[in-house]
Structure 1
């Protein structure tokens, strides 16, 4: 006996019984009065409550289905019937009732526009027939479900193939079942759904084992066991270990069977609670030790299984694995009458359910019981039936295996032919693509080359124009400075000396106020000379020249002046020093003329390989975004050009009412 793993969205509860006539009649009874919206909501709420009895929940489901039918809300009726199918009731005969309501909803197929909903209805009806072990009907409805589903319903299509494969398996249609499992596996893998692809692989492994094709079955299970161990997926690992153990038992490899069962037993405390798997594990261990005549362990594991099985809502008197284990224990304990009775019960059950493993187990039990009781004729008869049945199974398995491998060979042969044709076609396509790619590559190279040439030419012209502009600006500034220098020299050396002589002559005659007036004239003349060209810059350097300029402004104006002028650690180019001095001079003039400031601060400092000059005031400030283009009124244009001429950067930070800060950063 093997255990199936199934997708949870279609978990079919296997429930025993024939008909729930009272509930069925209640469900289809028309309401004397149409229920209110509040009543409908209350029914739905009660269905979700854990404390609501199964019989009441079933009646509420049927009332809802009946209401939607009478209201001609057929799609809601179908959805409610599907929900009812998923409801895991343990009442007798619920499968018949569920199937009846699904079929009732499907009878309104012409009023249901949703193709997925129709396909889902067919899928659930097939599941109900499957649960009732009517596999021909199940296969028929699975096939109809595929007719309603379209390419956008990939997972539903895969599920349908998977479940139809199970039904084909139970019917003994090995090739059809294997084909459905493979299709389901391929769809799941294409959708990246590894878990459901593994369910399909597990079905393939069970199918291989059933027909004696053990090697590929165990290969698949080894792959699944490694997958579940790597991903630490609980539950499914135990199922695969159990199925591997069952296959090793069929192969006669009892040591490997015991190894897998013991691995599974060790997992039980750490796996999610699965009392059914746990019970079967103990029963399999009991059977294993019974076949080895180790009655102590056989009895011990059977008692463990007995303790666990009562937690599973199932009729264990129809469970073949349980009956074989129980019958074997009775025989080993010498209770031959009870053992023969259980074996006969199992034999009758296997005939009803057409289960090969259970029939073989029953005949083996009968043969051993009759032999131990001295009924040699009956034992011989049971042995003949067992041998004959095993031979017929072997022949059937051989025929099925031959058909499978023949089909596999034909399929591989066709695939090789298709592959050869595809390779030839691919070669032609590759050659064609190569020619197209070469042609497109040439065109692309020409286009890119043209673009690069154009951009390069444009960039070259832009750089040339920029260089000419910079050279022009620098030359202009240089000429201006030369002219200022000449004028300053003339004023200082010529007019300044003349006025000094006048002062001395007047001083000899001592006219009233004449000396004071001449002092003022000389001072103004020298101030003009300094503004035209700072002679102290050449004599003292940038730091001392700025300090003198700021001290003069502090003494001659009402504005408070503070400064932090650090001596420069490196000697600067004369032109750089001059431009920095002019930048400071023009910035200070702007403060005096426009800012209405009470104080200003000037900082000159060296930062690694850069020099920073910052000039800050607490005046009225301005909105830089509004005045950005007004270079002439703000004096920003000259400052910008001077900064650019010495490859520096200029930053303006100003806000109305919060003063202004100018920062200039120059590479030393």
Structure 2
């Protein structure tokens, strides 16, 4: 068994090392290419490198993100700049913690955001901005940013709608706005239930339990958390049950149930072993258990844990984990009656907490210093900290009462509003029913006959319309299929006959030493080949859909000033020849429209496979258009062919265009 374990460990180490080596090699290759490139091509490579390092590696990404943003702004590519600024803000929020730098980036991006053409990019940007403000303790700015994220998310019916409501509810809880928090969390839970997102539903219930706890409703909080744990156990992918037990332990401590507190902290650590966030929560849970042991006369157990923390300072005692360690250390020293040392750690802990707005923790820190000075015999300083403690305690008590009143008032107003609406609807329904009873007998006979006649007429009309529509669709589809056959025939004729003859003319003109004739012959041959390729793409037939699309993009990229950003998965295995051809033509038509009409400078193409679909998303930053007006008055066959080809594939075509901001076209093809 030991040998097998060592072999497995060795294989894992080799795999990790190989992945790191591959990441460094790819990074170096892209950096070399970037040094040689300029303009749009350089930006494209920078964007690819920044995205790769940020999402797919553990390498340092700060400098490459900043470089990409700066260069994108220089080229006025606001979509790329905003997307990478969003990534950098997220990195600052979760890794570096340099919030002032994050605010500078937000200030830089502010005048550029009006030019961003994609609601999805803006939704993601404002969500990360809101997250950063939350971690920085600026709750009002966080809520404003979440409101903007919600606005853009609703523009494309994003799956982030519920998540934004949930996160806003969390901010309201921490900001003490319990009434608004309860309504926001209720909206989030309703949304998560609707879309059957059990994972987010569990997290939202956790925030509701914290709301109850902060209001002093420990019984309700416990019930909510027990339901949360039951849900989490049934939902096996959920790995953060440890956080639920940790919060239960905090409530146990407030209520004075110390045995339950220690038991729940042990459960928190045990369940955290399988959590995807195990590294983040382990120092917090471990330190909390040491505090619980120290405060309950289990000094030996507390000391053992503190030694473990100090043996690995990088993991347990610095940065985000410094406060947790200081709390454990001061509690242990106090329990051991080493008051002078406990005082040093206690004062450091208080200064750290005073930098934030965690008043409950500041209150407990003041109480600790009061206890220490009292044991030392320094009555003056003990009294000073006791006054601070009681002042904060009274303030928190008053705030809590206000919060509870606000919470109940909000619930009361909501219920009163709903009840009023229900009563009004009931009264209206009652009056309607009385009037209907009076009139029913008068018109029953005649209206019955009319309804029967109308019903038969409507059914016949609908059947006729359906048949007519099917015939029309079949006719249109037959035209498209015949058009493809004719294109193939003409392409072969051009290649086999005209192409061969032009090759002979080219050779003869070369032998005649007539330079102008030779150039004309070469240009004509090239034009014929281009026309032939457009009529029937050989790359598509020989190498498949993915290669065909890449070739199409390369051709347009070479012959236009457009800047392309692509993320294309290989989906050839899921398409037959006809499906591949129709999807290729749809993509070709979309890109032709962008080149001819959009006046765009940048295009983003995303082709990916979902669970049961293939999705093609094309975004441009052009002038946009009025889709309804275009379909009503335009005589162009291009848009109509897009719709007809989508019908042939039974695919869903969505077009979202905003004037002066650009267009997003999405094709969802069922596999």
User: Would you say the 8 A contact 1:54–1:91 is kept in 2?
Assistant: no
- Counterpart in the other structure of 1:199: 203
Q: Look up the match of 2:341.
A: 338
How far residue 295 of structure 1 moved from its aligned partner, in angstroms, is 0.8
**Which residue number corresponds to residue 356 of structure 1?**
359
Bigger radius of gyration: 1
Partner of residue 422, structure 2: 419
* Matching residue of 2:375: 372
From 271, 288, 312, give the equivalent of 1:267.
Answer: 271
Q: Are 1:185 and 2:210 counterparts?
A: no
Q: Give the secondary structure class of the aligned counterpart of 1:72.
A: coil
| Whole-angstrom distance in 2 between the partners of 1:157 and 1:358 | 33
User: Could you say if the C-alpha distance between residues 373 and 154 of structure 1 is closer, same or farther in structure 2, counting changes exceeding 3 Å?
Assistant: same
- Deviation of the 1:228 alpha carbon: 0.6
Count of aligned pairs between the two proteins: 419
**Distance in 2 (alpha carbons) for counterparts of 1:144 and 1:39:** 28
Q: Which residue number in structure 1 is paired with residue 412 of structure 2? A: 409
Given that residues 278 and 308 in structure 1 are in contact (C-alpha distance below 8 angstroms), is that contact kept between their aligned partners in structure 2?
no
Distance (Å, rounded) in 2 between the aligned partners of 1:440 and 1:71:
73
What is the rounded CA distance, in whole Å, between the counterparts of 1:441 and 1:236 in structure 2? 63
Paired residue for 2:280?
A: 276
1:248-647 map, 5 Å: 248-272=252-276, 274-306=278-310, 310-311=314-315, 315-316=319-320, 318-319=322-323, 321-425=324-428
**Measured at CA, do residues 199 and 441 of structure 1 come closer, stay the same or move farther in structure 2, by a change above 3 Å?**
farther
1:411 Cα deviation from its structure 2 partner: 2.3
Cα separation, 2, equivalents of 1:339 and 1:217: 33
Distance in 2, matches of 1:292 and 1:381, equals 27
Contact 1:46 1:52 in 2 (8 A): no
Cα distance change on mapping 1:325 and 1:433 into 2, 3 Å:
farther
Deviation at 1:362, TM superposition (A): 0.9
When residues 317 and 117 of structure 1 are mapped into structure 2, their CA distance, relative to the original with a 3 A threshold, is: closer
* CA gap 1:78/1:165 in 2 versus in 1, 3 angstroms: same
Distance 1:146 1:36, change over 3 A: closer
Choose from 112, 135, 138 the match for 2:116: 112
2:150–2:161 Cα contact (<8 Å) kept: yes
Deviation at 1:246, TM superposition (A): 0.7
Residue 185 of structure 2 aligns to a residue whose secondary structure is helix
Indicate if the aligned counterparts of 2:309 and 2:317 stay in contact, CA closer than 8 A.
Answer: no
> Per the alignment, do residues 250 and 431 of structure 1 end up closer, same or farther by CA in structure 2, a change over 3 Å counting?
farther
Distance 2:93 2:386 in 1: 43
Check whether the contact 2:370–2:381 (CA below 8 A) recurs between aligned residues: yes
In 1, distance between residues paired with 2:254 and 2:191?
Answer: 32
- The answer (yes or no) to whether the contact 2:53–2:59 under 8 Å persists in 1 is no
In structure 2, list runs of 5 or more residues that go unmatched. 1-34, 457-671
For the 8 Å contact 1:85–1:98, the answer to whether it is kept is: yes
Secondary structure in 2 matching 1:107: helix
How far apart, in 1, do the equivalents of 2:420 and 2:364 lie?
Answer: 46
**TM-score, normalising length: structure 2:** 0.55
Separation in structure 2 between the aligned mates of residue 293 and residue 62 of structure 1, nearest angstrom: 52
Residue 195 to residue 266, structure 1, CA distance change in 2 (3 Å): closer
Secondary structure in structure 1 of the residue aligned to 2:417: helix
Alpha-carbon contact 1:279-1:306 (below 8 Å) kept = no
For 1:378 and 1:439, the matched residues in 2 are separated by 94
Distance change (3 Å), C-alpha of 1:293 and 1:382: farther
* Residue of structure 2 aligned with 1:246, choices 244, 250, 258: 250
Give deviations 1:346-398, integer Å, cap 9, x for gaps: 22233321212311221232122122222244334433432343233223212
Deviation at 1:224, TM superposition (A): 0.6
Whether contact under 8 Å (2:192, 2:201) holds in the other structure is yes
Change (3 A) 1:131 1:280: closer
What does the per-residue CA deviation read over 1:136-162, in whole Å, with 9 as the maximum and x for residues that have no partner? 222232233344443643533333333
- Following the alignment from structure 1 to structure 2, what is the Cα–Cα distance between the partners of residues 145 and 117? 10
Q: Which residue of 2 aligns with 1:137?
A: 141
| Aligned-partner Cα distance in 2 for 1:440–1:252 | 77
CA RMSD of aligned residues (A): 3.9
Distance 1:277 1:255, change over 3 A: same
CA contact (8 A) 2:188 2:204 kept: yes
Does the C-alpha gap of structure 1 residues 88 and 379 become closer, same or farther in structure 2, counting only changes over 3 Å? closer
The aligned counterpart of 1:228 is 232
Question: Could you tell me how far apart the structure 1 residues matched to 2:267 and 2:399 are?
Answer: 33
Show CA shifts across 1:387-427 (max 9, x none).
34323322321232123223322322222222333344556
- The Cα offsets for residues 552-593 of structure 1, whole Å up to 9 and x where unpaired, read as xxxxxxxxxxxxxxxxxxxxxxxxxxxxxxxxxxxxxxxxxx
Q: 1:77 aligns with which of 76, 81, 86?
A: 81
C-alpha separation in 2, matches of 1:256 and 1:282: 16
Per the alignment, do residues 285 and 93 of structure 1 end up closer, same or farther by CA in structure 2, a change over 3 Å counting? closer
Other-structure match for 2:174: 170
Check 1:229–1:404 CA distance in 2 against 1; reply closer, same or farther (3 A cut): same
> Following TM superposition, by how much is the alpha carbon of 1:312 offset from its aligned partner in structure 2, in angstroms?
6.3
Name the one with the larger helix percent: 2
More relative contact order, 1 or 2 (CA 8 Å, 6+ apart): 2
SS in 1 for 2:412: helix
Give distance in 2, aligned partners of 1:346 and 1:214. Answer: 27
Query: What is the CA distance between 1:227 and its match in structure 2?
Result: 0.4
Query: Once the two structures are superposed, what CA deviation does each residue of 1:229-277 show, in whole Å capped at 9, x if it has no partner?
Result: 1223442211111111111111112122122223223334444461332
Structure 1 residues 121, 426: CA separation in 2 closer, same or farther (over 3 Å shift)? farther
Mapped partners of 1:192, 1:207: distance in 2: 23
SS in 2 for 1:266: helix
Check whether the contact 1:245–1:258 (CA below 8 A) recurs between aligned residues: yes
CA contact (8 A) 2:177 2:403 kept: no
* Preserved CA contact (<8 Å) 2:130 2:143: yes
Q: Is the 8 A contact 1:282 1:304 kept in 2?
A: no
CA change 1:168–1:309 in 2 (3 A) is farther
Secondary structure at the counterpart of residue 38 of structure 2:
coil
Query: Does the Cα contact within 8 Å between 1:181 and 1:200 map onto a contact in 2?
Result: yes
Contact 1:286 1:299 in 2 (8 A): yes
Mapped contact 1:346–1:358 kept (Cα < 8 A) = no
Q: TM-score, normalised by structure 1?
A: 0.55
CA distance in structure 2 between the aligned counterparts of 1:417 and 1:36, rounded to whole angstroms: 60
Distance 1:421 1:36 in 2: 62
Equivalent position SS for 1:192: coil
SS in 2 for 1:81: helix
